[in-house]
Structure 1
Amino acid sequence: MLRPSPLLPDSLRRPLVGAFFALVAVLGILLHRDYGLSWDEQLDRLNGIISVKYVALRLAPELARRQENFAAIPDMRQNEDVDHGVIFQMPLVVLEKLVGADDPREVYFLRHLVTFFTVAAGIYAFYRLARRRFRSWLLGLLGAGLLLLSPRLFAEAFYNYKDLVFLAFFTGAIYSLTRLLRRPSWRWALTHALLSGAALDVRTMGVLLVGFTVFFAGLELLYRPAIRKPLLLALALYLPVTAAVVVAGWPYLWENPLGHFLAAFQSFSRYRSDMLVQYWGQQISVRHLPWHYAPVWLLITTPVAYTLLFLVGLGTLGYTLVQQPGRWLRTRTGRQDLLFAVWFFAPLTAIILLHSVVYDGWRHLYFIYPAFVLLALRGVAAGVAWQARPGSKRWLGAALLLAVAGDLLHSGYRIARDHPYQNVYFSFLPGPVAERLFERDYWGLSGRQGLEWILAHDSSAHVTVGTDARSALVLHNNHLLLPPAERRRLVLTSAAQARYFLTTYRWHPGSYPASYGPEVYSIRVGGVKILSVFRRP
């Protein structure tokens, strides 16, 4: 096993780790009000509200019917998003009521803060996972830093209720799996079941956790006969409790658990809309994306040094496998490394082979990114080991460590410079190239700043704003984050009737003709134009 030399005394572990996660919490508190309202947030919230109504009608029907706006809330059978789990959304709806958040502006700021703290908990689980694998709290902390300082994920940690929350739950479940396999007990079986069920309720891809658990428990049973009985008992507890958590946290499943779950799972590969995405300079249907769509997006949006370290880590893993094919799986670290490799490659391979529908970059695969970072940490460990040796490997190790330090600093700089649009980060593509070839602000976050600029520069009592018909949700969502007085001044209308035309270029990547009027405002991030405001003739 690659193990770096201790660079800092263990006495500094608690204060440094505590300071790191305290800083993460402070960042969340300071920054959560800066982001716009993303494309899916209103629909996700409505999904939670519908499910809360469904539960309330079964637990306290008379009390439920007396609630304000009860009749306006659709029933479960009218919900088009029933195939999205609500184990995260329902508690958020209840929390809104408990804290008295009535205005949409405060509601969504609260949701952004809770989402970020949930992702931060996932980063902490990753720290514990990496620390145990490498037996180094410093490497664990570095891994947590690599996760935090990944620009796109940093931004989406505030508003991506599905993919980043799924990443957090999935990472926590992998950590609990490693603890369960190491020392089987009913406590870790229950913990792992709760986290697996929660992950499954956020995204049905969480079913991979059940497969991982059974497969890697089988390896432990093969190589560690002494723990067979407690591990089999733990599995006997894990499987039914996981199923119970999935059903309990997803009211849509209550009436027909297996049938509704299978329908939701199948919908992952049969997207309801024939939506177009911008990929390599062309508008392509999500139903006909090439196999390399997700890998290319991963490459162009991940810091270059992270990718280099990942390749080094993967190379050292392959070298170990070739050198010790018989002994590798007999070691605990060997089986853990196999788990991390499967965590990364299995979902990516499945997406490619099954032609599953993905869009908006590789966000549906964000949950494999912690495994990517774990393999990158193996590259860091190799660099530390090489740096301690004489000869050419020493210089190679030093170069690797300098690369990771430099890219960490650069990623932190880009996060600060591009705030709050880190979601448009491209690692090595020049701005004009990225703008022409790939999608930009597909979340529509920049719409908020565009509306704020229009209202700040037009003192009319009523200001009319329009956009492309397919992008109307960008304006509707982001106007909810305006202060109430400014919200009342804004009139959202068609592009033909509007005084101002706002675009985020999602389905119109090209330039607009002069008939739209002069461009009076724009936002560029890293050379990529993500928003324009035109004053209509």
Structure 2
Amino acid sequence: MTAIDFTRVPARRRRLAPSWDLASLLLMLGTLGLVVVTFRDYGVTWDEDVHNWYGVFVMDYYLSWFRDTRSLHWLNLYNYGAAFDMTAAFINKVSPFGTYETRHLLNGLVGVLGILGAWKLGRFMAGPRAGFLSALLLLTIPNYYGQMFNNPKDIPFAVAGIWSIYYLVRIIAALPRPRLSLVVKLGFVIGLSLGVRVGGLLFFCYAGLFGLIHCAWRLAETRKPGVMLRELIEGTWSVLVPMVVFAYAVMLVFWPWAQQAPIEHPLTALAFFSHETFPFNTLFAGQYFPATDLPWEYLPTHVVLALPELTLLLAIAAIPAAVAQQLRRRQGPDRVRSLQYGVIAFAALFPIAYAVYIKAVLFDGMRHFIFVLPPIAVGAALVADHVIERLRTFRWRWAVAGLAALYGVGHIGIMVWLHPDQYVYYNGLVGGVDGAQTLFKTDYWGNSYAEAVKGLVNYLETEYGAEFEDHDFTVAVCGPPISADYFFPDNFIFTDDRDKADFFIAFTKDNCNKALPGKEVFRVERMGALLSIVLDRRQIVEAAEHAREVAQSLKGAPPE
């Protein structure tokens, strides 16, 4: 059983199906082309250095036949699986690109797999047009696309998540005895999610919950407890057990620390993340709050503001539209269809609601919840597909289509304008990035530092000309040093001593750009929003050094 019966689709729409599939193919190829052309443009984010080393240590754990155990106690990263990081480490052994350029290319390709997963889910639910719209809407969510290149945790997790939802939706249509191949595929992608973050256990919960709802619905349909019990047992043995076993095996391949205690350590990691602390304040709505005591609306607000306006509008309409569709059925709600809609809606909303309920520690906007964006995009696409079908008989349909096209062109223009800092996007509800810059975090990961270093190099080349390389310069960085010093030329020397640094590179996170005095010589800005600055502090440092020398000489001078 499939989610859509094409025999009931109008003949004209069936004829158009190949063209929508072709459009999807072109979209995927175009996205791959963008990744290949632009992956070098993205900076090194705050977490990438430690994740790179973690991947190397896990690789060495295997290459040494388990004798190299550095990965078992590397910072707190042993609490994570290394599915992405270890893969990147192996590829880096043969890649012609730099370490982080290679990671960015791989990260971008993984992100495309997420877009492909959204297409598969949308197409399965409502046909080729819905598949195309699902892929397009996810691609044009800047917080997904912008982090697609250099977020080694949240993007791979989101990708595994959307594929888990896709296979779960397919299995629902075949309960209680789906094909083993589907169960194995579901177990594999859940295993990959666990091989990135232990939070992949969430997808086990989705499968179990909707399996129970299926059985309860069958009881309501048949009024025979025996039928419910039989399907519960069949579903447990044909879906839940093999799914868990296979997923756990995949997880262990990528998680050395879990191999040491396959039950205890994953549970310990789950407890660690459940009680994770962040002893700093975070900016929200223009005020700083402790990350451990945020307003309840912190995460919902970030999700709302991260979505393009049209996608947000469609997503808001998704649940009412699905409910209305089922209530209009003369035979009553369709069990399979309702459960499939339920999985997508639950995957989009439950993590947010649960985080609000437990007052989760959050500190980087909605970064840890990127995995809700793909199901949101698919839900919005299903509504858009329905609207397009209804517009076929609407007198002013071409005007509506023209307005939508104008909006789309404008939004893509914004993403181009923000490049390669798309992830700092905020929608028009808060006045875009410019309106958000004093209210919320923008570049919290140092992605703009690559451009800041280039700006500093150009400034000094202009000043020194051909003699630029004959001079050494000390540079201090606010936040993650790797985000800047990876791009340093040979005559730039990183220093931890800000007060004695010739130059200071700082982003606007926590007002770090105001931490030191200096002459501003370069700014990284996007759409009116300041992301980072470069300060020339040479005169200040020279004056301070001169003052110290004078003070030292006076100490040694004889009294008058």
Sort the TM-score into its range (normalised by shorter chain): 0.7 to 0.9
How far does the alpha carbon of each residue in 1:215-247 deviate from its partner, in whole angstroms, 9 at most, with x for none? 223344555769948744233321211222222
Quote the offset at 1:141 in angstroms.
Answer: 0.6
CA contact (8 A) 1:200 1:246 kept: yes
The equivalent residue for 2:195 is: 201
Moved more, 426-435 or 260-269: 426-435
The answer on 1:298 being equivalent to 2:303 is yes
CA contact (8 A) 1:311 1:379 kept: no
In the superposition, relative to structure 1, how do residues 267 and 366 fare at CA in structure 2: closer, same or farther (>3 Å)? same
The answer on 1:456 being equivalent to 2:452 is no
- TM-score w.r.t. structure 1 length? 0.87
In the superposition, relative to structure 1, how do residues 426 and 290 fare at CA in structure 2: closer, same or farther (>3 Å)? same
CA contact (8 A) 1:380 1:400 kept: no
Quote the offset at 1:315 in angstroms.
Answer: 2.3
Quote the offset at 1:25 in angstroms.
Answer: 0.9
Quote the offset at 1:404 in angstroms.
Answer: 4.3
Alignment equivalent of 1:362, drawn from 362, 366, 371: 366
Quote the offset at 1:123 in angstroms.
Answer: 0.9
Distance 1:147 1:78 in 2: 34
CA contact (8 A) 2:133 2:385 kept: no
The equivalent residue for 2:171 is: 180
Distance 1:15 1:324 in 2: 33
Quote the offset at 1:443 in angstroms.
Answer: 1.0
Distance 1:443 1:326 in 2: 53
Q: How many residues align?
A: 507
The answer on 1:165 being equivalent to 2:165 is no
In the superposition, relative to structure 1, how do residues 522 and 487 fare at CA in structure 2: closer, same or farther (>3 Å)? same
In the superposition, relative to structure 1, how do residues 163 and 398 fare at CA in structure 2: closer, same or farther (>3 Å)? farther
How far does the alpha carbon of each residue in 1:28-60 deviate from its partner, in whole angstroms, 9 at most, with x for none? 10000001100100111122222223334445x
Q: Which amino acid is 1:455 matched to?
A: V
How far does the alpha carbon of each residue in 1:81-108 deviate from its partner, in whole angstroms, 9 at most, with x for none? 211221221121111113366xxxx111
Q: Which amino acid is 2:500 matched to?
A: Q
How far does the alpha carbon of each residue in 1:287-333 deviate from its partner, in whole angstroms, 9 at most, with x for none? 111111111111122111111111222221243466569932x3322
In the superposition, relative to structure 1, how do residues 350 and 237 fare at CA in structure 2: closer, same or farther (>3 Å)? same
Alignment equivalent of 2:441, drawn from 428, 435, 439: 439
In the superposition, relative to structure 1, how do residues 78 and 42 fare at CA in structure 2: closer, same or farther (>3 Å)? closer
Quote the offset at 1:374 in angstroms.
Answer: 2.1
The answer on 1:233 being equivalent to 2:238 is yes
How much is the aligned-residue C-alpha RMSD, in angstroms? 2.7
The equivalent residue for 2:552 is: none
CA contact (8 A) 2:476 2:495 kept: yes
The answer on 1:342 being equivalent to 2:346 is yes
The equivalent residue for 2:547 is: none
CA contact (8 A) 2:144 2:373 kept: no
For residues 44-55 of structure 1, the aligned pairs below 5 Å read 44-55=51-62
2:521 aligned counterpart, secondary structure: strand
Quote the offset at 1:78 in angstroms.
Answer: 4.5
1:111 aligned counterpart, secondary structure: helix
Moved more, 236-245 or 34-43: 236-245
Distance 2:181 2:322 in 1: 32
Quote the offset at 1:453 in angstroms.
Answer: 1.5
In the superposition, relative to structure 1, how do residues 402 and 333 fare at CA in structure 2: closer, same or farther (>3 Å)? farther
What are the ranges of 5 or more consecutive residues in structure 2 without an aligned counterpart? 219-226, 461-467, 540-560
CA contact (8 A) 1:305 1:403 kept: no
CA contact (8 A) 2:276 2:361 kept: yes
Moved more, 451-460 or 191-200: 451-460
In the superposition, relative to structure 1, how do residues 432 and 380 fare at CA in structure 2: closer, same or farther (>3 Å)? closer
Distance 1:199 1:263 in 2: 17
In the superposition, relative to structure 1, how do residues 509 and 501 fare at CA in structure 2: closer, same or farther (>3 Å)? closer
CA contact (8 A) 2:459 2:521 kept: no
The answer on 1:143 being equivalent to 2:145 is no
Distance 1:299 1:510 in 2: 28
Distance 1:114 1:256 in 2: 30
Distance 2:115 2:326 in 1: 29
Larger Rg: 2
Distance 2:202 2:244 in 1: 13
The equivalent residue for 1:28 is: 35
CA contact (8 A) 1:476 1:492 kept: no
Alignment equivalent of 2:186, drawn from 176, 179, 192: 192
Q: Which amino acid is 2:296 matched to?
A: W
Distance 1:269 1:236 in 2: 26
Distance 1:520 1:489 in 2: 16
The equivalent residue for 1:98 is: 94
Quote the offset at 1:7 in angstroms.
Answer: 9.0
CA contact (8 A) 2:277 2:361 kept: no
- Percentage of matched positions with identical amino acids: 21
In the superposition, relative to structure 1, how do residues 478 and 187 fare at CA in structure 2: closer, same or farther (>3 Å)? same
CA contact (8 A) 1:425 1:526 kept: no
The answer on 1:480 being equivalent to 2:486 is yes
The answer on 1:218 being equivalent to 2:212 is yes
For residues 283-294 of structure 1, the aligned pairs below 5 Å read 283-294=288-299
The equivalent residue for 1:253 is: 258
Alignment equivalent of 1:83, drawn from 79, 85, 88: 79
- TM-score w.r.t. structure 2 length? 0.84
The equivalent residue for 2:498 is: 495
CA contact (8 A) 2:121 2:378 kept: no
For residues 496-535 of structure 1, the aligned pairs below 5 Å read 496-508=499-511, 511=514, 516-535=517-536
The equivalent residue for 1:113 is: 105
The equivalent residue for 2:24 is: 17
How far does the alpha carbon of each residue in 1:110-147 deviate from its partner, in whole angstroms, 9 at most, with x for none? 1101111111112111101101101x212211110111
Moved more, 171-180 or 340-349: 171-180
CA contact (8 A) 2:477 2:506 kept: yes
Distance 1:200 1:295 in 2: 25
Distance 1:437 1:79 in 2: 32
Quote the offset at 1:363 in angstroms.
Answer: 1.4
The equivalent residue for 1:156 is: 147
The equivalent residue for 2:463 is: none
The equivalent residue for 2:549 is: none
Quote the offset at 1:424 in angstroms.
Answer: 1.4
Distance 2:403 2:379 in 1: 16
In the superposition, relative to structure 1, how do residues 75 and 9 fare at CA in structure 2: closer, same or farther (>3 Å)? closer
Q: Which amino acid is 2:473 matched to?
A: V
2:292 aligned counterpart, secondary structure: helix
For residues 265-344 of structure 1, the aligned pairs below 5 Å read 265-320=270-325, 327-328=332-333, 330-344=334-348
What are the ranges of 5 or more consecutive residues in structure 1 without an aligned counterpart? 65-72
Quote the offset at 1:201 in angstroms.
Answer: 2.0
Q: Which amino acid is 1:337 matched to?
A: Y
Quote the offset at 1:534 in angstroms.
Answer: 1.5
The answer on 1:410 being equivalent to 2:410 is yes
Distance 2:330 2:292 in 1: 40
Quote the offset at 1:501 in angstroms.
Answer: 1.7
Distance 2:306 2:283 in 1: 15
Quote the offset at 1:491 in angstroms.
Answer: 3.7
CA contact (8 A) 2:35 2:105 kept: yes
CA contact (8 A) 1:152 1:301 kept: yes
Distance 1:17 1:300 in 2: 27
The equivalent residue for 1:421 is: 421
